[in-house]
A and B are shown apart, each in its own frame.
Chain A
């Protein structure tokens, strides 16, 4: 009985995002902070993976949540908070990627509060430290992947990121980016084809 009882009362204990939003809309700072903490890891992961730079990811984080803070009063629950937040984040990231394409600046080393950081060292690698050949191979593969990702347009990059790393459906991605599911399909196809061409025999 106790087990049934616990199951019966489990549903109302799901973290209440809607009530957090309403409290934050009324000016409750604590609720806003909880709302941020419930979503900020995935936002940072998206920004970090797209921009490959801790400093840029930090800027995106700040800009995105400040926009949320300033505009939360206008959120009307017409869509999920997640969708609303991701629209903001993807817009900021797309702007950054577009600016970067114009500047064509892609230094391999970025400055961080902990000192200079080689972007390639910010990638997860297999535990191959004991095998030098494997390490060299991994480094080459990482460089190829980096090159392949830079060959994509910002929109292709975004669609690929959201589908591959964040598991969003193409229909939802179309909704987020203000386009159609069909257009997202075409983007995904073009992104895959371009990356396969650059990666060649590496995979």
Chain B
């Protein structure tokens, strides 16, 4: 291997893009060639300098982008084309219409029922301290691919999901882990229930982060309100307050903003004056604005920013 060929391979080596045999040959060369070893060091130094110079998006840019997108979609972006409905879809829709009000929750209802079975079972089986697992239940399969070959055989790839029920006290470590996972599920009803049950360990960093994530990012206002409720005992925590201040200025739901103001004013904090003053200027909901004005008055702060 010559120094010229090594020079071309150094960036690929640095990014782990060489074949193992080329890596070995290059490393052997670097051991015996001080010039190429220096080149390698310069490559590392440049990469480190570039790492330190990543562009940083201004705070709230992400929220502004999300708001733009939502406005564009709701304000007239062309709707996605809908695929033609099959008989099964039409049947489900007819069923959903019959169970008016429940159609959004046909899957969540099943999931919540499972969680409920677990917790009620725990309640009526006092004396069983740890969580317990039911035997393996039904198996649900989802076919991912079907590949026939020329010999008349076919290869089918499928995922299997096995339904199980775990029951135990809400403070149990495994139950809490499942609740944390359930707080990210796509069914809002499951998220609401799960977030509400994280109360017993709200002071742990993992649970607190999950709650803050729900407050700041969950698309469902019911989940956000529930998470705010659980965060109440932590309303004095600086990280919590920082997130709440961001939510106050970005959330589009007045009930959420009202509850955030309630949490923020539980602890006197002069750094919140500016946030509340900003909100008073921009808030279009009378109740929220009045609440902010009252909070500012209680803090002996002026209503306007001047």
Contacts and interface: CB of A to CB of B under 8 A. Distances in A.
Interface stretch (B28-36, B45-53, B253-261): B45-53
Interface string A25-61: 1110111111011001100110011001010011001
Contacts, number: 175
B153 interface: no
Interface string B33-47: 000000000110111
B15 A196 contact: no
A89 interface: no
A163 B16 CA distance: 10
A196 B186 CA distance: 47
Given A27-B82, A117-B58, A124-B54, A188 B11 contact: yes
Contacts of B174: 2-3, 5-6
Provide the main secondary structure of the chain A interface.
Answer: helix
Given A44-B57, A123-B53, A203-B45, A62 B68 contact: yes
Nearest to A50: B55
A202 B73 CA distance: 47
B77 interface: yes
Interface stretch (B125-133, B198-206, B282-290, B291-299): B125-133
Contacts of A80: none
Interface of B: 8, 10-12, 15, 17, 42-43, 45-50, 52-58, 61-62, 64-66, 68-70, 72-73, 77-83, 130-133, 161-162, 164, 166, 168, 172-174, 177-178, 181-182, 184-186, 188, 217, 219-220
29 contacts: A1-B132, A1-B133, A2-B130, A2-B168, A2-B173, A2-B174, A5-B132, A13-B182, A13-B185, A27-B79, A27-B82, A30-B219, A34-B219, A44-B65, A57-B57, A57-B61, A58-B64, A70-B78, A71-B80, A73-B81, A113-B64, A123-B53, A141-B53, A145-B50, A164-B47, A169-B17, A170-B15, A192-B10, A192-B43
Interface of A: 1-3, 5-6, 8-10, 12-13, 15-16, 19-20, 23-27, 29-34, 36-37, 40-41, 44-45, 48-49, 52, 54, 57-58, 61-62, 65-66, 69-73, 112-114, 117, 122-126, 141-142, 145, 163-165, 169-170, 185, 188-189, 192, 195-196, 199, 202-203
